[in-house]
Structure 1
Amino acid sequence: MTKALADMFADAQAPCLHWEGEPAYAIYEMPAPEAFDVEFVSSTDTPVQGLTLKVYGGVLEIDGVEAQEMLLWRDTAPNRVPVKVKSETGGRATLKIWNVWRGKVGGHDVTQAWLGNAGMRVKQVGTWLALHCSDGEGSVDFDDLAVHLTVVD
């Protein structure tokens, strides 16, 4: 039986590993741009897909709300979400991104991440990043959620 991605990430003790010849990420980390757009391209309906953004060395701002960490749900967020990053004085912020999903467990909504076959393929395409995410349910499927992250000048 093939190991789940979460088990392979745990064994590697790393946020990135090679899976079927290409990098797969549990968490993707990059220098935080001052502004970027998150565009939801496609997703499965069940479980509900989402994306977590977390900044170190600053705060995120979405629609006037500021926080170090924000979770965008496919079923409630607009298709395109403008994000600003306010870095701490004299510092350079780091952005971490990971996929999440929400489903019913015992009749309650439960947010999950980094379990089962959760992971992301991340590819630079010109001025934007393409994130293809596999939720932790069932076999690996990097088409569970597709997101584009575009840096805004």
Structure 2
Amino acid sequence: MLKRIGAPTVVSCSVRVVARCSVALRREPSERRGTGPVLRPNLAGCRCGFACQDGPGVVFHGGEGSALVLMQDRFEQARTPSVEVDGTAVWAIYEIPLPVSRGRIRFLSDNGGRAQGIALAANGSALRVNDVTGASFRLWTDTAPPEILFEVVDPMKLERLRVWNVWRMRHGAEDGWTGNFGMVVEPDDDSLVVHCSDGLGALDFSDLRFRIEWSRG
């Protein structure tokens, strides 16, 4: 699994790659209690005899006889919060530069196929969102308003403020940091536009787009 990079724990899947083919695998619930779903092959329609054409989890074929390279694998190998893909930095988790006292998050677009979300987490100070106080929040496209305001309870004590993308599986469980996940970040003055790929299917940074703005005073 992806090294946590000091981030708060999120619900993620125990993933097992079982195929060497650039077609989809099917996620099924794990038989082990307390673990997330795993990737399992479905041989229907698959010429190579390993992968399937039904369900999420497309993997990349790196050439004849080469190992599969999911974004999850790239981050595990690099052990850094970002890796380069075709000359572009792709982030697993992004740290917002301090100081930050309050901010606004806007959902810009999503793929509409499943619930996409934003994880926002702070260290050193709690956050307040809609009169709810906590160290971390999940904001979902299917339940949150298009615009969300947040406040840092004690900006002078804030040590870190980080964001990453999450999504919901078909059975309703939250997932993150698995498969072909990642974020492309466009920074501006006290704001970011973030393009997200969830872990299901091919790398696609149109799965979720959001903007986050913040005030330093």
So what's the TM-score if we normalise by structure 2?
0.65
**Root mean square deviation of aligned Cα:** 1.5
Percent identity for Structure 1 against Structure 2? 32
Residue 142 of structure 1 is matched in structure 2 by: 205
Contact 1:52/1:97, CA 8 A, preserved across alignment = yes
Residue 23 of structure 1 is matched in structure 2 by: 89
Which stretches of structure 1, 4 residues or more, deviate above 4 A after TM superposition? none
Which structure 1 segments of 5+ residues have no match? none
Q: How does 1:1-153 map to 2 (within 5 A)?
A: 1-2=61-62, 3-30=69-96, 31=98, 33-87=100-154, 91-104=157-170, 108-152=171-215
How many residues align? The count is: 149
Contact 2:122/2:158, CA 8 A, preserved across alignment = no
Distance (whole Å) between structure 2 residues aligned to residue 32 and residue 69 of structure 1: 18
Quickly say closer, same or farther: Cα 1:133–1:13, change in 2 above 3 A. same
Distance (whole Å) between structure 1 residues aligned to residue 189 and residue 160 of structure 2: 21
Note the C-alpha offset of 1:32. 5.4
Higher strand share: 1
CA deviation profile, 1:40-72 (whole Å, cap 9, x unmatched)? 000011221000000001111001100001000
Contact 2:75/2:83, CA 8 A, preserved across alignment = yes
Q: Which amino acid aligns with 1:103?
A: M
So what's the TM-score if we normalise by structure 1?
0.91
Distance (whole Å) between structure 1 residues aligned to residue 160 and residue 70 of structure 2: 28
Structure showing greater radius of gyration is 2
